[in-house]
Amino acid sequence: MKGVARLIGWRDLRAALSSTSGYGMLAGFLALTGWSFAELLRRNEGGFVSAQAIWGMSVAPWLPFLAAAATMRLFAEERQTGTLETLLTAPVRAHDLVLGKFCAALALVGAGILLALLQVTVLRQGAPRMDGAFSMAGLAAAALLLFLQAAAWTAIGTFASLQAGQQAAAGVLTVLCIGAPYALYAGLLAWIPKMPHGVWRWPPLGHVSDAATGLFALAPPVLYSSVAWCVLFICVRLIEARDVRTR
Amino acid sequence: MLEVIQVTRCFGRRVALEQVSFQAARGDIVGLLGPNGAGKTTLLRLAACYLQPTQGVIRLNGVDSFRESLVFRSRMGYLPERCPLYDDMTVGEYLLYRARIKGFPFVKARIRSRELAEQLGLGEMRDRLIGTLSLGCRRRTGLADAVLHDPRLLLLDDPIANVDTVECERMAASVVNAARHATVLISGHALSQLGELCTRFLVLRAGHLVADVPRADLLASAGGARLAMEVSGAAEAALKRVSNLFPGGAAADVRLLPDGWWQVSWLTRQTGAVRDAVAMEVARQGWRLRSIELVTPALESRLADLVSGRAGATGSAGAKGDA
């Protein structure tokens, strides 16, 4: 990352970690993923789903919310406090600004995934029944795919923060933007008669589950990386054209 | 040279600025006056590249504010009205951060930020959190940020609102200092302070530029200003010779006060420069100076007339007269 982007990213990360909300956000995420993991493990007792796939599926649904919480302040807070004015009028390139802010938020979300991974490995030590069910390679593959998903969701959150007038609105917009395509897809399927229920699984869950069980296809990483780059590119163009909310 | 050419800015259907044109040279301190909602902040934001003009062009020494935005911004400093700063940083950290993102290498950024903090009286506050500063100190920190990179264009949005006289004078001194190598655009409502500071006034009303008046013209129409000082250790004839410092000469009114000090006053259309020249002459002659004051009683009311529209527009090219 270039100097100016690194400076902007570092400032944002520092601001997030100097407030209790940053730690609260990570703690909330860990509590929810921990609870989901225990619940899914309990329901799957005697089932065929691997423990690492269950871990991946317990983290993936909460990632959009963590991304929303980490990104909603990026531009929306700067707009509310007025510092966006000094930032956009400084001789800073739009891509440095977007990249710096995106990386700061992604570092937070990545830290959440890493902590969730740490949490499950610690849980594994204390739960002998899980021995043998865990594949560390599968866990790493699931974590990698989760990180790519996090990049896509964080990019969407960066865009939402750039467009929304308030932090809360940015958070809601992020979750809607991530959930809307699937809701549309599921809604369309509901119109088709006699459609089997299997298609109702949220695709990102399936991607993580597949990666965790050794089915690491190329399409999902390409999809998430493309989403991230495309959305960040749109953010850069919007800033360059000064086509963002200024108040 | 700042050129604002036929600039229009619309927010949806509302026209915030319409066909505004003017030019300002290096050394000009241009006061942007007008009632609330006249378009002063919008004009400054357009010149700061925060907003894009709906129509028209803004150039600084030939550099287009939109097409060559990065170059333009690297030569421009801007202090917004609300003086937004990061409250969780200390003054020193903030200035260092801003210097770094403005392209200074680390060592130079450190030197420059310290130097400016000292210059603007922020030296002792370098380790204080911005969130704990008074409004005046916040403004000074914002000004330090705006002038960090020695900009060729300095834009100040109402920098002297709600600050005390000392802060006001300190701010004015910084602006005059910056104007040595830059064009300064300063908006505000404090007519007496702006009247002292600015060399020219642009009056905006409902998004239109209705008057563009040099200070000298305004002062002439207001009957001039009175420069008065109290000195001792000088002869009356020598005091009268100080009048030679005034362009075209000015009659000195010399009186001996009961306590033995001389009170000397002149009527003049020049202001700050002449005051400084007189003060320097007093120092050179070794006289003791008790006070020196420039009084422009009618200037403020003339400005108020211009802003409220009671006076006829004394316009130059680009200004629309609305009588």
Q: With a CB-CB cutoff of 8 Å, which residues 68-127 of chain A face chain B?
A: 81-86, 88-93
Instruction: Please check whether residue A247 touches B, CB under 8 A.
Output: no
Q: What pLDDT is stored for residue B322 in this prediction?
A: 37
Residue B129 CA: distances (Å) to CA of A97, B121, B124: 24, 16, 12
- Rounded CA separation B193/B168 (Å): 8
Non-local (6+) Cβ contacts of B266 within 8 A are: B226, B227, B243, B246, B250, B251, B252, B253
- Rounded CA separation A153/A176 (Å): 11
Q: Which of A54, A227, A207, A46 is nearest to A154 (CA)?
A: A227
- Higher pLDDT, residue A224 or B234: A224
Q: Which of B50, B78, B98 sits opposite A246 (nearest CB)?
A: B50
Residue B50 has which token pair?
């925060």
Q: What pLDDT is stored for residue A54 in this prediction?
A: 83
A82 contacts in chain B (CB < 8 Å): 80, 82, 84
First to last CA, chain B: 29
Task: List beta partners, residue B33.
Answer: B203
Q: In chain B, what are the domain boundaries?
A: 2-219+301-308, 225-295
Non-local (6+) Cβ contacts of A7 within 8 A are: A100, B97, B100, B101
Q: Which of B70, B88, B102 sits opposite A18 (nearest CB)?
A: B88
Q: What pLDDT is stored for residue A132 in this prediction?
A: 53
Span A144-156, average pLDDT? 94
CA distance B304 to chain A (A): 30
Backbone angles phi, psi at B14, to 5 degrees: -80, 130
Span A31-57, average pLDDT? 81
Q: Which residue in chain A is spatially nearest to B145 when comparing CA positions? A: A86
Record: fold of B2-219+301-308:
Rossmann fold (3.40.50)
Give the best residue of B43, B50, B98, B158 to mutate against chain A (max A CB count within 10 A). Answer: B50
Q: What pLDDT is stored for residue A213 in this prediction?
A: 82
Angle among Cα A158, A156, B12 to the nearest 5 degrees reads 70
pLDDT, tens digit, 9 for 90 and up, residues A11-28: 999 999 888 888 999 999
Residue that has been written with the tokens 């089932």 in this structure: A47
| Beta strands B200-205; B262-268: pairing state | unpaired
CA distance B42 to chain A (A): 11
Mean pLDDT of chain A: 86
pLDDT, tens digit, 9 for 90 and up, residues B68-84: 999 999 999 999 988 89
pLDDT, tens digit, 9 for 90 and up, residues B189-218: 877 778 778 889 999 988 999 888 888 777
Q: What pLDDT is stored for residue A161 in this prediction?
A: 94
Q: What pLDDT is stored for residue B323 in this prediction?
A: 28
By the 8 A CB rule, do B197 and B265 touch? no
Q: Which of A81, A84, A91 sits opposite B103 (nearest CB)?
A: A91
Residue B136 has which token pair?
């005046």
Q: What pLDDT is stored for residue A137 in this prediction?
A: 83
What 3-state class would DSSP assign to B45? helix
CATH 3.30.70.120 fits B225-295, yes or no: yes
B74 contacts in chain A (CB < 8 Å): 91
Instruction: Please check whether residue A18 touches B, CB under 8 A.
Output: yes
Give the best residue of B63, B101, B141 to mutate against chain A (max A CB count within 10 A). Answer: B101
Q: Which of A8, A15, A85 sits opposite B84 (nearest CB)?
A: A85
Write down the ipTM of this complex.
0.83
By the 8 A CB rule, do A154 and A227 touch? no
Task: List beta partners, residue A78.
Answer: none
Span A51-57, average pLDDT? 82
pLDDT, tens digit, 9 for 90 and up, residues A98-122: 999 999 999 999 999 999 988 888 7
- Rounded CA separation A176/A225 (Å): 20
Tens of pLDDT, residue by residue, chain B (323 residues): 899 999 999 988 899 999 999 999 998 999 999 888 889 999 999 999 999 999 999 999 999 998 899 999 999 999 998 889 999 999 999 999 999 999 999 999 999 999 999 988 888 889 999 999 988 889 999 999 999 999 999 999 988 887 777 888 888 888 888 888 899 999 988 777 787 788 899 999 889 998 888 887 777 776 667 788 888 888 888 887 887 777 666 777 888 888 888 888 887 766 667 778 888 888 888 888 888 887 766 677 777 777 777 655 444 434 443 32
B16 contacts in chain A (CB < 8 Å): none
Q: In chain A, what are the domain boundaries?
A: 3-240
CA distance B177 to chain A (A): 21
Non-local (6+) Cβ contacts of A184 within 8 A are: none
Task: Determine whether the interchain pair B50/A88 forms a contact, defined as Cβ–Cβ distance below 8 Å.
Answer: yes
Cα A134 to chain centroid, rounded: 24
Instruction: Please check whether residue B45 touches A, CB under 8 A.
Output: yes
By the 8 A CB rule, do B171 and B188 touch? no
Q: At what angle do helices A51-59 and A136-163 cross, to 10 degrees?
A: 10
Task: Determine whether the interchain pair A86/B145 forms a contact, defined as Cβ–Cβ distance below 8 Å.
Answer: yes
Q: What pLDDT is stored for residue B135 in this prediction?
A: 87
Backbone angles phi, psi at A200, to 5 degrees: -75, -5
Q: Which residue in chain A is spatially nearest to B100 when comparing CA positions? A: A4
- Higher pLDDT, residue A127 or B20: B20
pLDDT, tens digit, 9 for 90 and up, residues A156-186: 999 999 998 888 999 999 999 998 887 787 7
Non-local (6+) Cβ contacts of B167 within 8 A are: B136, B139, B140, B160
CA distance A90 to chain B (A): 6
Q: Give the rounded percent of residues in chain A with a pLDDT score beyond 70.
A: 87
By the 8 A CB rule, do B217 and B211 touch? no
Q: Which of A141, A122, A142, A110 is nearest to A26 (CA)?
A: A110
Q: Which amino acid is at B48?
A: A
Handedness of CA B83, B86, B90, B92 (dihedral sign): negative
CA distance A159 to chain B (A): 18
pLDDT, tens digit, 9 for 90 and up, residues A197-220: 555 567 888 888 888 887 878 889
- Rounded CA separation B180/A55 (Å): 65
Non-local (6+) Cβ contacts of B279 within 8 A are: B229, B289, B292
Backbone angles phi, psi at B79, to 5 degrees: -115, 105
Q: Which of B216, B188, B217, B192 is nearest to B203 (CA)?
A: B188
Q: With a CB-CB cutoff of 8 Å, which residues 166-225 of chain B face chain A?
A: none
Is B247 exposed, middle or buried (CB count within 10 Å of its CB: 0-12, 13-18, 19+)? exposed
Task: Determine whether the interchain pair A15/B101 forms a contact, defined as Cβ–Cβ distance below 8 Å.
Answer: no
pTM (2 decimals)?
A: 0.81
Task: Determine whether the interchain pair B84/A86 forms a contact, defined as Cβ–Cβ distance below 8 Å.
Answer: yes
